[in-house]
Amino acid sequence: MKSKSMRLAMSGLALSCFTAFGAHAAEPKELFFYNWTDYYPVDLLAKFEKETGIKVTMDGYDSNETLLAKLQAGGAAYDVIVPSQSIMQTLIKQDLLMEIDAPSLSNFQYVKGPFRDPSFDPGRKFSAPYLWGTTGFSYDSARVPGGKLDDSWKEFFEPRKELQGQLAALDTSSSVINAASHYLNVDECSENPQDAKRILELLQKQKPFLKMYSSDNTVDRMASGEVIMMQNWNGSTARATLQKSTIKYVYPREGLAMFQDNFAVPKSAPHPGNAKIFIDWMMKPENAAAVSNAIAYANGVQSDSLLDPKWKVMDAINMPEEYASRLRPEKECSNKARELQDRIWSKLKG
């Protein structure tokens, strides 16, 4: 087994060869960035262009599956993509990613411990950490009887009488089924049809109490008071709390999904050199902090000191330590499990 320094040296050599080749090939100074919509502050791209001279074009997608479909269809030539940890293995196994060897990049030193060697990408060969978040639920404490809800999924799946008809769920099958699985203490990637049956029954019982299923407009929906409680991401909740301070975020004790988003480079990227420059640049604490401050999600880089004070007071972003045990990183489910989930979802909406 090579020592770490040997590995670094080898990567450094490879990288320098690569950049030399890159310099010969003279990559045009542009970058195609394919990211989740509303998941990156546009002014930061301007800063990147000023510092490196590379012009970035950013397009948006709304789900990992859209990203996957576009990559599988082969045609779309993006340089940097932002897959969640739950499809990393699929991308790697299908040979869709370029090896970038993130530890060899100069700013990798700033990456936080837990993010340096994740199980979904050992050794960070293909990816670098971006943002991470959780999917719990948020509620408006001013409109809830007693002003506080128990931190349990029970409040969401079996709502109190006053809240019935005033809740919303995300319109993403994996998020809803995940939450239900955690509440029922069932494996989120269960291949057991009996588990699926229980989940379906729970969701069907909840459906009449929901105002809508929607993954759009999550910030305004809470802030405008259209619903009193909704399944929500922590970042959206934090931004909603800025508009209405009584909005609170819940980390349910039965467990809540945690997603980790990463930078990666598709194999067919037209500007891989620029892609690595961008990814390296994003691991600088000040840039990572700029994103977190704008979109209200925590990042995987040591930038806590640069976090804006208005976010520091919210436990939506600044997760209290005692909740760490409640996090359940999203897993990648097998085809069989996904088929079950698809059937649950179709029957639920059917």
Partner 1 sequence: MSVSSTSPALNRALLLSPVVLTLLALIAIPLGIMGYISLLPRNTYGGVDWQAQWQLQSYVQLFFQEGFDGELELNWVYAQALLRSVLQAGGTTVLCFLFGFPVALWMSSLTPRRRNLMVLLITIPFWTNLLIRNYAWLIILREHGWVAQSLNALLPSAGGITLLYNDFAVSVGLVYSFLPFMILPIYSTLEKLDWRLVEAAYDLGANRWHALRRIILPLSMPGVIAGALLVFVPSLGAFITPAILGGGKTLMIGNLIQQQFGTARNWPLGSSLSFLLLAILLVSLVLYALYSRRAAKTINRGATA
Partner 2 sequence: MISLHLKKLPATREISLLILAYLYLPIFVLIAYSFNANRSATVWTEFSFAWYGRILANPSIQTAALNSIIVATIATVCATAIALLAALATYRPFYGQKMVEGGINLPLILPEIVTAVATLLLFMALGIKLGLLTVIVAHIGFCIPFAYLPIRARLNDLDKSLLEAANDLYANPWQVFRRVTLPLLWPAVLSGAVLAFVVSLDDFIMTFFVAGPGSTTLPVYIFSAIKAGVTPEINAISTLMLVISIVLVVLAFWLSQRGKQQ
Question: Of 105, 129, 124, 106, nearest to 288 (Cα)?
Answer: 129
Q: Does 70 bind partner 1 (CB under 8 A)?
A: no
Which residue of 8, 44, 76, 184 would you call a contact of partner 2, by CB under 8 A?
Answer: 76
Task: In angstroms, give the least distance from the CB of 304 to partner 2.
Answer: 26
230 binds partner 1 (CB under 8 A): no
CB of 74 to partner 2, least distance (A): 6
Among 16, 204, 224, 246, binds partner 2 (CB under 8 A): 224
> Does 73 contact partner 2 by CB under 8 A?
yes
| 306 sits near partner 2 (criterion: CB under 8 A) | no
Residue 278 is a binding residue for partner 2 (CB under 8 A): no
Query: Which entry of partner 2, partner 1, none binds 339, CB below 5 to 8 A by partner kind?
Result: partner 1
**Structure-block tokens of residue 55:** 């012009």
Residue 248's identity, in one-letter code, is K
Residue 75 within binding range of partner 1, rule CB under 8 A: no
**Minimum CB separation from partner 1 for residue 175, in Å?**
11
* 86 φψ region: left (φ > 0), alpha (ψ -120 to 50), beta (else): alpha
- Under the binding rule (CB under 8 A), the answer on residue 180 touching partner 1 is no
Quick one: which segment of 2-10, 75-83, 124-132, 156-164 binds partner 2 (CB under 8 A)? 75-83
Query: Does 72 contact partner 1 by CB under 8 A?
Result: yes
Q: Would you count residue 254 as binding partner 2 (CB under 8 A)?
A: no
Among 78, 108, 153, 263, which residue interacts with partner 2 (rule: CB under 8 A)? 78
Q: Which of 175, 117, 135 shows the shortest CA–CA distance to 300? A: 117
Which of 94, 243, 245, 246 binds partner 1 (CB under 8 A)? It is 94
Q: How far is the CB of 266 from partner 2 (least distance, A)?
A: 10
> Interacting stretch for partner 1, rule CB under 8 A, among 1-9, 50-58, 148-156, 332-340?
332-340
Largest CA distance in the chain: 69
**Which listed residue (59, 65, 99, 308) binds partner 2 by CB under 8 A?**
59
Q: Which of the stretches 70-78, 172-180, 202-210, 313-321 binds partner 2 when contact is defined by CB under 8 A?
A: 70-78
Query: What is the Cα–Cα distance from 246 to 296, expressed in whole angstroms?
Result: 17
Give long-range contacts, CB 8 A cutoff, 24+ apart: 107-116: 107/280, 107/281, 107/283, 107/284, 108/280, 108/283, 110/283, 110/284, 110/285, 110/288, 110/301, 110/302, 110/303, 111/283, 111/300, 111/301, 111/302, 112/300, 112/301, 112/302, 114/300, 115/260, 115/300
Q: How many whole angstroms separate alpha carbon 155 and alpha carbon 136? A: 11
- The footprint of partner 2 on residues 12-31 (CB under 8 A) is none
Which of partner 1, partner 2, none does residue 57 bind (CB under 5 to 8 Å by kind)?
Answer: partner 2
Q: Which residues bind partner 1 (CB under 8 A)?
A: 63, 65-66, 68-69, 72, 90, 93-94, 171-174, 193-194, 196-197, 200, 207, 210-214, 225-226, 335, 338-339, 342-343, 345-347, 349-350
